[in-house]
Amino acid sequence: MLNKSGQLTIFIIFALVLIGAAVLFFAFQNNLIRQPTNPDSDRVYNFVQNCIQEEGAETIYQIGKNGGYFFPTNFSTNSGVAIYFSNNRAYVPSKKQVENEISFFMDEKLFFCARNFADFPDLEITQGEIKTETAMENEKVVFNVNYPIRISKREDVSLLNNFKTEIPIRAGIVYASVAEFMRNQTAEGICISCMLEISERSDLYVEMMDYDEKTTVFVFRDKNSKINNEEFVWIFANEYG
pLDDT of the residue at 19:
58
Tell me if 203 sits within 8 A of 168, measured CB to CB: no
DSSP conformation class of 62? H
Helices in 66-153 by DSSP H: which ranges?
95-114
Question: In 76-144, which ranges are continuous DSSP H helix?
Answer: 95-114
Query: Considering the entire predicted model, what is its pTM?
Result: 0.81
Say how far apart CA 239 and CA 28 lie, in whole Å.
51
Instruction: Kindly state the DSSP code that residue 35 receives in the 8-state scheme.
Output: P
3-state SS class at 229: coil
Contact 141, 166 (CB under 8 A): yes
In a structure prediction context, what are the per-residue pLDDT tens digits for the chain, which is 241 residues long?
445 455 555 555 555 555 555 544 554 444 443 444 578 899 999 999 999 999 999 999 999 999 999 999 999 999 999 999 999 999 999 999 999 999 999 999 999 999 999 999 999 999 999 999 999 999 999 999 999 999 999 888 999 999 999 999 999 999 999 999 999 888 778 889 999 999 999 999 999 999 999 999 999 999 999 998 999 999 999 999 7
For 105-154, how does the pLDDT look when each residue is reduced to its tens digit (9 = 90+)?
999 999 999 999 999 999 999 999 999 999 999 999 999 999 999 999 98
Residue 74 DSSP class: S
What's residue 50's pLDDT? 97
For the chain, which residues make up each domain, given as ranges?
Answer: 1-33, 37-74+91-167, 171-239
**pLDDT (0 to 100) of residue 28:** 46
Per-residue pLDDT at 32: 40
